[in-house]
Structure 1
């Protein structure tokens, strides 16, 4: 087990406020950032003294914009940090474009000081691109998991809400910033204060790093049928090498015909069609989030040939994989 970073240790009463430095990448997710800052603000209020302070940085040091279109005034440019600062990179959509050479070189320089560094939402991509997650456990928003796993095979990717591995922290996005900050507050000042912060946030169910980020299969599909759920889980974990309907049926103790009826009854489509949609959804994520060739995307999603892949893709999305990638590139800022 890795040692706890000094910034996470419980502080003596006389310690000065712990400083968090938030770096807002272009098109950052406002919810992830605001949930983290509000948790610290409420901790100060509940304690009746300034336990935490924060500074908000970004490229240029003037203003930046969230993915919602809201502008945000920064406290400064990418400046030199103190070793005992806690650095949080806030990502969002188009994180690949926002992760430029200047951000990466600055991040690597600060990491050499031993600073505790976290990536909120999609910013795990930024940390991994800088080489800061090599050999470590990490998480990222479920929508980015496929592309992340393809690009950063040296990172042990999990589906957890958040992950703390030594001096690296990653979160899955959304409200997971609250769960992370409550853990950091509990480690620093005790669980009583963390619970008080949760109460103020009307946050009744605090998640840990053992909780996964996505809803269970029955909740997602709106159907509670154990055999159907098991088949869908098998499909989701076997995209590159799809399993035939007969083997899927055998795995849950039913005939292929019974499996067909089950899918028709609850999902209004055949098992084959549902499986195809899962594979095409992964393919679309890879096309839009990575620079993998269309041929490699096809292979990663269980298609034996690019022509078959293109035909299926066009039938479902009414465009070709090549056009999909081209239109996305045109929309993505340089």
Structure 2
């Protein structure tokens, strides 16, 4: 069974600053996080500044930043963003050792350097004499399961500082929120091409992502349902995982989706079954089991009731638009509702 989503919990970001760090990157990163908090109307993202020794750090603009603390392996945060210059990396091998140590511990970090040097290699960082450094832009943990970075490319992937921070927002909340943040600051940061590309990728978001900024508990419950179709959760467990009572969960679904959680869950399972019947050659009994139906007669009965035909007839259907089942729709006034059938 999937772990409970942490999209509703706070995310603390640590910014490690080194001598002559590019100050614009820090301003950009904190502006993006602040914009996300304003959209959410809560302090989802918090941040602190660190240095290797805990002392003030001079920026490339000639002013110094007073850091909150020093960085050590006992530091606690959800993500680490290192803002530095390539020259500083050449001078201080301790930074290389630190990043490799964080990688070994599975901590998510990103590297923002003054010359935009970045790639997605996952090899340990090393420096030998005057040889050019091979600096990855982020750790394997940052890249893992991060659809934002996977989908935004053509020069705007890990090479773009704003995009790395947006990927952090997407990872800890949703692509939908990251797109909203980008839309607000695109002119300010002169990254309109990035916004255009992201909008094309993420303007059609899932119900879970659309709900995440407005109804996080509801979004979390939908995520759990989507991740547990083969072995459906009972409603008491589902409510417990998101710290609600069963009655509160039922009210939440009725208010915002105009149906019960059981009915919504069933439609998600049937939608998956319909996709598998149309797009695979798996035996119907296997599909029934994959969608949480332990009895073929029950699967056939429910499928016919909701879809309007038997599963075997669905497989024969040649037109993809016939008898389509959709678990939800979004009304023009922003109220989310399930289709009545």
Q: Same fold (TM over 0.5)?
A: no
TM-score, normalised via structure 1 length: 0.44
TM-score, normalised via structure 2 length: 0.43
Structure of larger gyration radius? 2
